[in-house]
Chains A and B, each alone.
Chain A
Amino acid sequence: MAHDQPTALERFVNGILPENPVYRQLLGMCPTLAVTGAMKPAMTMAGATAFVLIMANIMISLMRGLLKPHLRILVFTLTIATFVTIADRFLAAFMYDMSKQLGPYIPLIIVNCIIISRCEICASKQSLFTAVSDGVGMSMGFALALASIATVREVLGSGTWFGLTLLRSQGEGGWWPAWGIMVLPPGAFITLGCLLGLVNWIQERSAKRQRARA
Chain B
Amino acid sequence: MNAVMVERSSPGAHRSEIRLHAAMRRRQGYIAEGLLVIVLALSFGVGLAAVHVFLSPIIAANKENETRGVIPRLVPGAAAEASERLEAAGADGKPYQVYRAAAGDGSLKGWIILAKGQGFADEIELVIGVDRACEKLTGIFVLAQKETPGLGNYIESGPRFTDQFPGKPTGTPLQVQKEKQTLDHHVKPVTGATISSESVCAIINQAMASLRSELARRAEEAESAP
Contacts and interface: CB of A to CB of B under 8 A. Distances in A.
B153 interface: yes
Given A103-B146, A105-B149, A82 B44 contact: yes
A67 B32 CA distance: 11
Contacts of B48: 82, 85-86
Interface string A73-93: 011001100100110011011
Main secondary structure of the interface of A (DSSP, over half): helix
Interface string A94-115: 1010001001110100000000
Contacts of B147: 104
Nearest to B62: A96
Interface in B44-61: 44, 47-48, 51-52, 55-56, 58-59
A185 B149 CA distance: 11
Interface string A48-76: 00000000000000010011100100110
Contacts of A92: 55, 59, 62
Nearest to B44: A82
A74 B56 CA distance: 28
B37 A94 contact: no
Contact of A79 (B40, B59, B144, B150): B40
- Chain A interface size band reads 20 to 34
Contacts of B146: 103-104, 107
A63 B59 contact: no
A103 B36 contact: no
Contacts of B150: 185
B199 interface: no
Contacts of B148: 104
A75 B40 contact: yes
B47 A66 contact: no
A89 B55 contact: yes
A89 B52 contact: yes
Given A71-B33, A89-B51, A89-B52, A34 B149 contact: yes
Contacts, number: 59
Contacts of B56: 89
A38 B121 CA distance: 26
Contacts of B40: 75, 78-79
Nearest to A107: B146
Contacts of B59: 89, 92-93, 96
A85 B44 CA distance: 10
Given A85-B48, A104-B149, A71 B36 contact: yes
B162 interface: no
Contact of B66 (A82, A85, A96): A96
B170 interface: no
B145 interface: yes
A68 B40 CA distance: 14
B36 A63 contact: yes
Nearest to B58: A93
B58 A94 contact: yes
Nearest to A67: B36
B58 to A, nearest CB: 4
Contacts of B44: 78-79, 82
A89 B144 CA distance: 13
Given A89-B52, A103-B146, A75 B37 contact: yes
12 contacts: A34-B149, A71-B36, A78-B44, A79-B40, A86-B51, A90-B55, A92-B55, A93-B59, A93-B62, A103-B146, A103-B149, A185-B150
Given A82-B44, A89-B56, A93-B58, 7 more contacts: A66-B36, A71-B36, A75-B36, A100-B144, A103-B146, A103-B153, A104-B148
Interface of A: 34, 63, 66-68, 71, 74-75, 78-79, 82, 85-86, 89-90, 92-94, 96, 100, 103-105, 107, 185
Which 7 A-B pairs have CB atoms at the shortest separation, nearest pair first? A93-B58, A96-B62, A82-B44, A104-B146, A93-B55, A92-B59, A89-B55
